[in-house]
Structure 1
Amino acid sequence: MTETTNINDSTSQEWYFTENGQRKGPFPAAALLDFLQANRISGDTSVWRKGLQDWQPLKSTELGAPLQEAPPPVAPSNINNALVWIIAIAPIPYAFFSGIIEAFKMDDPLQPHRALDILAFLVPAFINAALCLSDERQLKRAGYSDKWLTTFGFILAPAYLFIRAKRLRHFPSYGITWIATFAVSILLSIPY
């Protein structure tokens, strides 16, 4: 009965958590569990309440019980990397796509081609975002959720690739490949 009383006491207390090096709170335990479910915090987020000697990862406190019921993330070696390799080499096809757009512009070089310019930007941006977000959903299903993956997946493919490699503890070979293929795509787009 004493253990149950301690858990009830601690979940009714006010809790704090750290975010970007700052203390946030106080919050009731239910709010922290909501933050956890919404992926605002994770099991590794440092938390504290009155009665704890120091900050602890949420997963090691009584609030971390729901995390222990979930299976651990899939081993990084078992994650399918096909989409990230497609993203890594995508600058080359985008360079050819831009070349096709430039060829259409040459039919009437004196006219402004704003629609073609917008198309040349939006098609690769949309495809990159779709590929990154598809891969990010795959990672979430494998147990790896990270708000930065979603953000950079939508905005900036190379940052997504490097953050993904860091999150999975991979060597960032697909990020390095993206940089190399981007450099090649720039060389391909230089008129001769």
Structure 2
Amino acid sequence: MQDATTSPETLWHYEKNGVRKDGVDQQQVIALIRNGTLAYGSLVWKKGMADWAKIEQTELRQHLEETSPPPLSGAMVNNKIVWLLAFAPIIGYLLESFVAGLFGATEAQWERAMAANRYWYVTLALNIALSVLDSKRLKQAGHDISRFKGWVFVVPVYLYQRAKLLNQNLAYFITWIVCFFITIGAHQS
């Protein structure tokens, strides 16, 4: 990647899927932007920078703007689904109770089903479905969600990463954790 005319001071390094990619010149970085490998939110670094920075915070921003508009800011992203997701442990518990009532002929059967946590998969499916739906909305808003990979299936990790991506506070992450512990207590009583 480096030729005799390229000095280490002009080489860019970038991150892709948690892996550092080393030593590309500016023309190669521009090509990576144009082919979609690098986009808003991609991390880059070159000699002289104190730390890694989002590509849009560097001189490379102008090349991003040639290819696509910036993603919507966190304040502009619709958070209705993520708030449903934040309360999903409790909503899921109520759905589990409803399903147990449908399949339990008596109150005793319902109580046994709830005590045995027989319909746990209802809450799991709800959490995953809402995470996937929310991640699709983030993608539609222009955000690079490739860093989430399979984390949409591990809801608290997804919520944490989402808050960091959008520069939002951790309110929905904390809400999900609290709701999760409330439902654990409900299942044990």
Aligned 8 A contact 2:30 2:63 in 1: no
3-state SS in 1 of match to 2:163: helix
Shift of 1:122: 3.4
* Counterpart-to-counterpart distance in 1, 2:34 and 2:122: 35
- The aligned residue for residue 68 of structure 1 is 65
- Which residue in the other structure is 1:17 paired with? 13
**For the residues of structure 1 that align with 2:128 and 2:18, how far apart are their CA atoms?**
30
Given candidates 148, 171, 176, the residue that maps to 1:178 is 176
User: How far apart are the structure 2 equivalents of 1:97 and 1:44?
Assistant: 39
| Correspondence for 1:89 among 87, 90, 98 | 87
Aligned match of 2:138: 139
Please identify which structure carries the higher helix content: 1
The root-mean-square deviation of aligned C-alpha atoms, in Å, is 3.9
SS at match of 1:46: strand
Question: Helix, strand or coil for the counterpart of 1:76?
Answer: coil
Amino acid across the alignment from 1:93:
I
Alignment of 1:1-192 (within 5 A): 17-19=13-15, 23-25=20-22, 29=28, 33=32, 37-38=36-37, 44-47=42-45, 54=48, 58=55, 60=58, 65-69=62-66, 70-99=68-97, 104=103, 107=109, 117=118, 120-153=119-152, 155-191=153-189
> How far did 1:170 drift?
1.2
Q: Which amino acid aligns with 2:44?
A: S
Name the SS for the 1:171 alignment partner: coil
- What's the CA shift string for 1:121-177, capped at 9, x where partnerless? 433323222211211121122222132334311x21111112111211111111111
Q: How many residues are paired up?
A: 165
Decide whether aligned partners of structure 1 residues 31 and 25 sit closer, same or farther in structure 2, where only a CA change above 3 A counts.
Answer: farther
Normalising by structure 1, we get a TM-score of: 0.64
Greater alpha carbon shift after TM alignment, 96-105 vs 67-76: 96-105
Q: TM-score, structure 2 length as denominator? A: 0.65
Give the Cα separation in 1 of the matches to 2:41 and 2:174: 30
Structure 1, unpaired ranges of 5+: 1-8, 108-115
